[in-house]
């Protein structure tokens, strides 16, 4: 049975209302049992008719005189068409949400994922930079920076396999209890800042610097007193790095 005939002859409505002759009914059933579209329309029509009948029996549908509205064929196609219109409007609304809202949500999600990955990479880099050697290191090079040496640079020899350089900073007389050290490369670039340093039992400061940041040349080390305030310059040292 063709869909054009089903539409033109209102076969679905007549089938639900049991108005088809036996041959028409058998032919249509053979068709709609294998046609998902017609099967769905039959189910929809049966549910709709059952709802109208139930409303009429309950007295919800009443005519002008308060009697139950008759179940006639004339208004049924219009009601069915109205339900199709509502379905179409819902489909349009869902399509609009799909085309407008979903891409924005997907874009926001991608941006959030990108920020999260960037933060994870930054954290991993910071953790890698702060990681100390897992194995003990023998013959760690040491440089002693002493204020009484004036403008002469202290010298440190870094072996090829050295991982860190220890700095021993002699302070001398000072009323500060907390210090900051800033290390500048030979080109004047700040390569390290260490805050909240306190004196050891020997009255000096001890810090370590990654050896891979110390290329041959003369570095400048600035020592500043932090606490108690106000902060001020305590000493300036020069460190000469040499590699064998």
Q: Is the pLDDT of residue 17 over 60?
A: yes
Model confidence, pTM: 0.44
The secondary structure of residue 212, as a DSSP letter, is G
d(CA 77, CA 13): 8
d(CA 203, CA 135): 29
The secondary structure of residue 242, as a DSSP letter, is E
Phi/psi class of residue 150: alpha, beta or left (left: φ > 0; alpha: ψ in -120 to 50)?
left
CA of residue 126 relative to chain centroid, distance: 20
For residue 108, report the phi and psi dihedrals to the nearest 5 degrees.
-65, -40
**In this structure, how many other beta carbons lie within 10 angstroms of the beta carbon of residue 171?**
19
Q: From the CA atom positions of the chain, what is the Rg in Å? A: 44
Taking residues 72-95, report their average pLDDT: 65
Report the SS3 class of residue 95: helix
* Angle of helix 36-58 versus helix 22-32 axis, rounded to 10: 120
88 or 181: whose pLDDT is higher? 181
d(CA 160, CA 219): 19
105-158 tens-digit pLDDT:
777 788 888 888 877 877 776 666 655 556 777 788 888 887 655 567 889 999
**Which ranges of 63-159 would DSSP assign to H, the alpha helix?**
76-96, 102-130
d(CA 45, CA 15): 10
d(CA 193, CA 190): 8
204-222 tens-digit pLDDT:
899 999 999 999 999 999 9
């Amino acid at each position: 049975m063709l869909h054009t005939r089903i539409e033109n002859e209102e076969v679905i409505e007549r089938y639900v209302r049991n108005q088809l002759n036996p041959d028409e009914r058998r032919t249509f059933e053979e068709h709609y049992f294998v046609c998902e579209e017609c099967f769905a329309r039959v189910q929809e029509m049966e549910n709709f008719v059952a709802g109208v009948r139930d409303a009429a029996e309950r007295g919800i549908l009443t005519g002008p005189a308060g009697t139950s509205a008759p179940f006639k064929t004339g208004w049924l196609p219009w009601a069915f068409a109205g339900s199709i219109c509502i379905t179409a409007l819902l489909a349009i609304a869902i399509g609009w949400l799909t085309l407008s809202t979903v891409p924005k949500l997907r874009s926001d999600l991608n941006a959030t994922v990108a920020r999260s990955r960037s933060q994870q990479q930054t954290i991993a880099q910071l953790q890698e930079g702060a990681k100390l050697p897992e194995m003990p290191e023998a013959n760690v090079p040491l440089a002693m920076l002493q204020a009484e040496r004036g403008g002469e640079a202290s010298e440190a020899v870094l072996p090829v396999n050295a991982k860190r350089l220890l700095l021993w900073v002699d302070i001398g007389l000072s009323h500060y209890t907390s210090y900051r050290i800033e290390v500048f490369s030979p080109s004047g670039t700040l390569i390290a800042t260490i805050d909240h340093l306190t004196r050891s039992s020997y009255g000096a400061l001890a810090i370590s610097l990654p050896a891979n940041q110390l290329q041959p040349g003369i570095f400048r080390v600035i020592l500043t007193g932090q606490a108690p305030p106000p902060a001020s310059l305590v000493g300036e040292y020069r460190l000469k790095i040499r590699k064998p």
